[in-house]
Structure 1
Amino acid sequence: MARRRMVYEGKAKILYEGPEPGTLIQFFKDDTTAGNGEKHEMIDGKGVLNNRLSEHFMSGLNAIGVPTHFIKRLNMREQLVRAVEIIPLEVVVRNVAAGSMSKRLGIEEGSPLPRPIVEFYYKNDDLGDPLVTEEHIIAFGWATQQDLDDMVALALRVNDFMSGMMMGVGIKLVDFKIEIGRVYEGDFQRLIVADEISPDSCRLWDLKTGEKLDKDVFRRDLGSVSDAYTEVAKRLGVMPRQNGSTTGPKLVH
């Protein structure tokens, strides 16, 4: 596919103008960052894995009636997605205390939470994506109360779907981050899941061993990010397990 005009470049993805009005091409890079870009490496093949994993999750959500921006995969690194007006919030759902929640509240990492907790973070790298309350969101006009109610409902549906899928392959969904965007159909607005869902945006722990299978491997220098993401892909059937040595990942087409 001929390269089109670049619309936006982030730390892990590039958005290009799509072939039809209202569409974009989302390209997954091999860049891996932590600490708002303070730590940065290129990990060969990571973009391919995240493209395939995000396709797997988004397709599954679409199939059960949870609307997403995903239309179809174009190749090993690119997806065709619907253009949306992104709400400037990261929506985080936590099932187990970890990461910033453990540090902020002094809760031991790995402690189960009494129920899934939904948090909102203002998307601003310069400020470190700070945690914000619903009062902040409404007061500053980032979203309405109805938007917030819809966002929480969407996030919890994603959590139910993802938790069940991961549990089925021996992985605990500790927490995850999604972004949500507005789409307009005439005068009607609705909210849909956008961006990506991948080990970059989830905390995934092996149910038996507690081994981390997500970007914390990179953040905390725990081993190979490629191996961790490949293991998730294999368990989900996105990338088959193979006997013997291989020269590189072979993904299911």
Structure 2
Amino acid sequence: MQNPDAYDWYISPADRFNYETQFTRNNSDDVEITLQQMENIYNTSRISLEDFQYIWNLVNIRGNQAINKEQFVVFLHVLNSKRRGKPFPTGLTLSMKESFLKEDSKPSDRMYVRPSTSTRDVASFENKDIAGLEASIQELDREMTQSRALRDETEKRIAELKIVKAELADLAEFKRKHLAAIKADNEALLESEKVAVGGRDLDETSLLLLIDRLKEQRRVLEIKKSTAQAMLTDSQLELTRAG
């Protein structure tokens, strides 16, 4: 067991989002959750029933049939800390007890963990010495640097994708025009076949040669048409992915 003032009550924004999502998933009214509704959580918790009941009693200081979202968030924080090998706290901090005991407490009144995803739990630092606070400041500086780097990288990637999307759009337009030109050539060839055969008195040999030549020209145009159509389809797929 660990003194509540020495226990690490800090809940990261990512963990808080995960815990609140589980709260919504496991109950129907999004206001309170009962111990029975947490059966699935127990089945996957890999802790004993005795430990699970201890955490429930820890946060359920009124002894009610259900706990609210903030109590549930602390419940999962203690549970996951236990799974990572950390000892249980002997109780809650005074600020947490006061918050849980308030019938109509507002999020801004809860000092033990802030609902904002952009701030840390300042109360979790209140018992640290100067060296501990300086270490926490350095950790925050590292997180800020990483966040800025991630933001810059994301903005750079978005700019690159916009350029690629514009280039693919231009390529797709070129291929549409190219395909239209091939279709026009094909139609002109068909028309020339009619004119060449219909307006001339050819012997059998000449007629067969003309037909073979026109067939070859038509075959070449069909190949170009198929190739252009395939290229256009590929460009459209690339444009869709880039978008």
TM-score normalized with structure 1 length: 0.26
| Higher RCO structure (Cα 8 Å, ≥6 apart) | 2
- Could you tell me the TM-score, scaled by structure 2's length? 0.27
The structure in which a higher percent of residues are helix is: 2
Please tell me whether Structure 1 or Structure 2 has the larger radius of gyration of its CA atoms: 2
Higher strand proportion (structure 1 or 2):
1
